[in-house]
Amino acid sequence: MGLLGGTATAAYADPGPGSGAGRDAGGDAKNGGGAKSDDAKGGGSAAAEDKRLDDVRKEIEDLYRKAEQATDAFNGAREQVELQQKEIVKLARNIDSTQQKLAVLKRRAGALASAQYRDGGLPPEARLMLGDDPEGFLDDATLARKGQQAVKGVISQLARTKGDLEGYSKAATERWKVLEENRKKKESAQQDIKKKIDAAKDLESRLAAKEKDRLKKLEEDQAFLKQQKWLDSGALKEISGKASEQGKKAISFATSQIGKNYVWGAAGPDTFDCSGLTLRAWQAGGKTIPRTSQEQWHQLPRVALKDMRPGDLIIYFADASHVGMYLGDGAIVHAPRPGRQVTITGAGSMPILGIVRPDK
């Protein structure tokens, strides 16, 4: 049985102190049906309260899920902004060096033009007839032809350099447009995230302390039930892979972050979002991986569930908006959502999209 499967069953199955399970038997024997009737009323009220809180849980989870989707869009746009900024810096350097080269070529072309002007611009035949030294003239004519070739070469090089400069300038303009588009996407995603997180926090802040505790318990119950269903499907039967040396380092880093707060867009050292945690963990393992869970899904090598081993990343939900690191024995370490901390939970507690392996 998985780490978060059967070993936790008793904790969820045993009635709590306020469940009334022990009192019912004693109350019925002593008071007849009266106590049973009161308990039935209380049970109905408790069930209604649980239903209300479960609806709140679903609404909060939905808001945080949407915020996580927007976080991925934000991280992607931020990465593109950084990439475009680097491209623009590179193009600016190319433009600067090309402008310097152009200035040198212009000076050279000017010097050659002045030299031709000093020679009087006479046709070669006239210079031969008017000159006192025909043999010397022939030598001069050869040099003149070489000079003309040099002029043509400089003019040709000048034209190519101007073309390069125009190309770099055009590319820089296009990069600026893309940069501005990504900046707008980034700002829009950031506003979307804030709006959804604020709405979820507002919803949760209206709950009393006991209701918040109960809400957390409902979240844990739901995660446990989904994990149990996953384990019951036999998902772990064929999984027996061992972590690689790099995977062990990644796991060690990730588990040492347990208890640190989830903050959207964060990648350590004190707070993390889901993909920020896996990014830093695998950097500790000696591998650079993409920043977002969606890019991790699209760019990293995929492996079958039966071949999964500790250190692999499990990508969740159809839009690849969440990621956790597999620890073995049916468990993952992940950064769940705002208001929660990095923790260990069941690998099957959320719908699995697939598995990726950074060190494949």
> Which residues are tagged catalytic?
274, 322, 334
- Going by C-alpha positions, the residue among 220, 274, 226, 281 that lies closest to residue 69 is 274
Angle subtended by helix axes 34-118 and 274-284, to nearest 10: 60
With contact defined as beta carbons under 8 Å apart, do 76 and 182 qualify? no
Query: What does the DSSP assignment read for 122-175?
Result: --HHHHHHH-S-HHHHHHHHHHHHHHHHHHHHHHHHHHHHHHHHHHHHHHHHHH
Q: What would the two tokens of residue 345 be?
A: 């939970």
Q: Confirm if 65 and 196 have CB atoms less than 8 A apart.
A: no
Give all strands (DSSP E) within the chain, no chain letters: 302-303, 313-316, 322-328, 331-334, 343-346, 352-356
